[in-house]
Amino acid sequence: MKGAWRVWQRNWTVYRQTWRISFVPPLLEPLFYLLAFGIGLSALIGEITYRGVGISYIAFIAPALIAINIMQSAFFENTYASFVRMYYQKTFNAMLATPLSLEEVITGEIVWGATRSLIGTAIMMAVISAFGLIRYPEGLLLLPLALLGGLAFGAIAMLFTSIVPNIETFNLPIFLFITPMFLFSGTFFPIDALPPWAGSLAQFLPLTHLVRLARDLSYGQIGPEVFGSLAYLLLFTLVAYLLALRGMARRIIR
């Protein structure tokens, strides 16, 4: 799997040339959300009860913003960006004429997607910490969480990349998968507020677990219940990864 690291390095080499642009969204996005939702909506909402404790609305959504960014960074990297490399630039084809194997190429791409999540999380943590919304040292565990969440969403993104006929088709998983998760995974309001059937459904969404973990780590409330969410994310990652490898083999090896 050393080859996967080579693929990762290729993306890192490209990223280093454009990092100034890539830095901006994770820096500004939390600011916008914290201002609009946190300050604007806070006045209307007041306190919110999370796990029996009252917290401010801004403290409630801050970890969710990190989780959403983890999801989006990896998902967009391994859909649009990976698709461009695979389909338009033929980068994978070139790599396959070297000692690299397809598994290494795909793994390197997914790990790179997770790296984008990690970078985004680190920047967002800096911004959110300035508001005093992350408790340390427990909050540092958000970084490995970003990697895990990035792998989960990178792997599922790669699965979509292996089956879409063209780049426009990504609208479908974004509209049917990413957007509902963005709204209904306990991000901007607690899952308890959903009708029971929808609440149970939300338990199957990977973002629900990522948001829960991000809150627990940000608040420093790490209890045994984190293992359930961790296990779900790991399982999700593993299944999506294996399906992505299979899908890519079908797509590329002809």
Partner 1 sequence: MDEVIVAENLRKEYGTFRAVDGISFQVQRGECFGLLGPNGAGKTTTIRMLYGFTPKSAGSLSVLGLDLDTNLRTIKGRLGVCQQENTLDPDLTIEQNLEVFARYFDIPKGESRRRADELLAFIALDHRRHAKIPELSGGMMRRLMLARALINNPEIVILDEPTTGLDPQSRHQVWDRLEVLKNRGLSILLTTHYMDEAARLCDRLVIIDHGRILVEGEPRALIRRHVGDHLIEIVDPTDRLCTYIKNERLEHENLGYRMIVYAQEQGLYAKICSLGAQGCSLRQATLEDVFLRLTGRELRE
| CA separation, residue 161 to residues 78, 102, 166, 171, 250 (Å) | 7, 14, 9, 12, 12
Alpha-carbon dihedral sign for residues 19, 22, 25, 30: negative
Q: What mask, x for binding partner 1 by CB under 8 A, covers residues 16 to 35?
A: -x------------------
Report how far Cα 47 is from the mean position of its chain's Cα atoms.
27
Site stretch for partner 1 (CB under 8 A), options 27-35, 41-49, 88-96, 116-124: 88-96
Shortest Cβ 7–partner 1 spacing (Å): 8
Q: Are the C-beta atoms of 85 and 95 separated by less than 8 Å?
A: no
Report the residue number, 23 or 32, with the smaller CB distance to partner 1: 23
By the rule CB under 8 A, 89 interacts with partner 1:
yes
Site stretch for partner 1 (CB under 8 A), options 10-18, 155-163, 177-185, 214-222: 10-18
Report the residue number, 56 or 101, with the smaller CB distance to partner 1: 101
Rounded Cα–Cα distance for residues 163 and 142 (Å)? 32
By the rule CB under 8 A, 78 interacts with partner 1:
no
By the rule CB under 8 A, 90 interacts with partner 1:
yes
By the rule CB under 8 A, 1 interacts with partner 1:
no
Given the structure tokens 């916008």, which residue do they identify?
A: 32
Rounded Cα–Cα distance for residues 105 and 100 (Å)? 7
Provide the binding-site residues for partner 1, judged by CB under 8 A.
2-3, 6, 9-10, 13-14, 17, 89-91, 93-101, 253-254
